[in-house]
Chains A and B, each alone.
Chain A
Amino acid sequence: MDQQQYQQIEDQITPPTPYVKNVLKAFLIGGLVCTIGHAFTYFYIIFFNFTETTVGNPTAATMVFIAALLTGLGIYRKIAQVAGAGTAVPVTGFSNAVVSAAIEGKTEGFVLGVGSNMFKMAGSVILFGVASAFFVALIKLILVTMGVVEW
């Protein structure tokens, strides 16, 4: 049996990935996460002195806190198993990446374990986030200087 034959057999045996179902699940649960976030947005606007421009910070902080709590309790993993990208894409996924890495490194001690592992995943998120923000701002600056759009 050569490689090609093996590949053929493998393709036959592997069950097909339910793309549509996965996308639908991710959409619904991701949407639910965002709906909860929006509920917090309105909560902060109505009961505290936040406007639509300033409300983003406390909302993100609350969502991150809740996701961190759920990760610690082991509930977030179960939700993520069903939802996939639906729980990874919102800011809660970032929180999950930080907290789960911190928990994982706990056995190796606080400095070399928790401290160095915490941003293993999140570090790349921060790096590429900052880098892409820089390029987006650069493109916008060029467009504004050319007079295509306004700030």
Chain B
Amino acid sequence: MKKMVVAIFLIPVFLIGCNQEQTIEVKDSNEEQSETVKEVIRNSDEIYTGNAIFIEDQLLVAVQAKPWLDYKKRKIEKKLQKEVEEQFPDLEVLVSADYKLYWETQKLLDEGDEQKVSEEVEKLKKLAKEET
């Protein structure tokens, strides 16, 4: 019994020790743009991972907030949306902390077909608007 209690208390310690580094990936042909968006995401410490996709005049940024800060991800989203829009005023920007968008953008990073990526981003934007 004692061993089990000790083990249960140790679980969070092991989980916290996982990964402190930010991993940010960008799908874009323009070096400069991707560096800028990387810099913006890196500046917010509440985020531990993020993907950004540039396609035509759209920019989709999907991030994941750190586990303990997940409850205020709406605020983080809003803040980042503002910052990214300042950097890219002529693009249609959507920042989301939703896991669905993060998962789908992860798949899109390796997608070669531009047409397909554009369609997918359009679909995700619609999905992000759904409330119920």
Contacts and interface: CB of A to CB of B under 8 A. Distances in A.
Interface stretch (B17-25, B32-40, B47-55, B99-107): B99-107
A51 B131 CA distance: 9
A11 to B, nearest CB: 28
B98 interface: yes
Contacts of A50: 100
Contacts, number: 26
B130 interface: yes
Interface of B: 98-101, 103, 127-128, 130-132
A116 interface: no
B123 to A, nearest CB: 8
The number of chain A residues touching the other chain, given as a range, is 10 to 19
B99 A54 contact: no
B100 A51 contact: yes
Contacts of A49: 100, 127
A54 B131 contact: yes
Interface in A44-93: 45-46, 49-55, 57
Contacts of B127: 49, 51
Nearest to A49: B127
A53 B73 CA distance: 12
B128 A51 contact: yes
20 contacts: A42-B99, A45-B99, A45-B100, A45-B103, A46-B103, A49-B100, A49-B127, A50-B100, A51-B98, A51-B99, A51-B101, A51-B127, A51-B130, A52-B98, A52-B100, A53-B130, A53-B131, A54-B131, A54-B132, A57-B132
A54 to B, nearest CB: 5
Nearest to A46: B103
Interface in A14-57: 42, 45-46, 49-55, 57
Nearest to A54: B130
Q: Which A-B residue pairs are the 8 nearest by beta carbons?
A: A51-B100, A52-B98, A45-B100, A51-B98, A54-B130, A52-B99, A45-B99, A51-B127
A124 to B, nearest CB: 26
Contacts of A46: 103
Contacts of A45: 99-100, 103
Given A46-B103, A51-B130, 15 more contacts: A45-B99, A45-B103, A49-B127, A51-B98, A51-B99, A51-B100, A51-B101, A51-B127, A51-B128, A52-B99, A52-B100, A53-B130, A53-B131, A54-B132, A57-B132
